[in-house]
Amino acid sequence: MSKVKNIIFIIIGVVLFGCASQPKRIIETESGRPEIIIKTTNMDVVRSLLTSNMGEEEWNYFLIDNSEHNLTFARQVKAGEEADKAQEMVGTHFGTIPERVVVFNIMRIQDTIKTIAYPSLMSLNGFGKTKQVGLENYIPIFNALQELLISTKSKIESDLMLNLIPQ
């Protein structure tokens, strides 16, 4: 009977320890944000692929700003539990439903393109003031954006047609 108790305690300990452990970042980056360096000089293809990927059903973001070095995407947080958690994060229950915002900073560095993602939540409080909270330390979002950037890099670097220098 004591062997059975010991085994049960070990199993309970393993389960509790497994549930309590935090998810890990898939990679540590120089900036501490999701980022990637792509071996191409074709900034247009990087911008186009990021725009296409962020608009897919999995992400469902809309392009709201397209400037020379930034792409800004946003989508409203889903109603219900996700919206409640998001409103707590921005610190207001009396404002608008928060939007998830992702800004990609895209810069040319020699023969490469470096892209850094800046995820955040944004909401208007009850007085009409904008409140924004960075999400770079929220590991599931960090990992999802990092995987998106890795996928973008792989697609561009493996496709010779995408990697051509624009004329």
Topology at the third CATH level for domain 28-158: Alpha-D-Glucose-1,6-Bisphosphate; Chain A, domain 4 (3.30.530)
**CA atoms in the 13 A half-sphere facing the CB of 62:** 5
* Calpha distance 166→127 (Å, rounded): 47
Closest to 98 measured CA to CA, from 113, 116, 85: 85
In degrees, to the nearest 5, what angle opens at C-alpha 50 toward C-alphas 145 and 54? 65
Task: List strand residue ranges (DSSP E) for the chain, in order.
Answer: 35-38, 62-66, 70-76, 99-109, 112-124, 130-134
Higher pLDDT: 91 or 71? It is: 71
1 pLDDT higher than 70: no
Domain boundaries, the chain: 28-158
Closest to 38 measured CA to CA, from 108, 114, 104, 145: 114
Q: What is the pLDDT of residue 23?
A: 80
Neighbours of 46 (CB within 10 A): 25
* Calpha distance 122→133 (Å, rounded): 7
36 pLDDT higher than 70: yes
Q: What is the pLDDT of residue 167?
A: 38
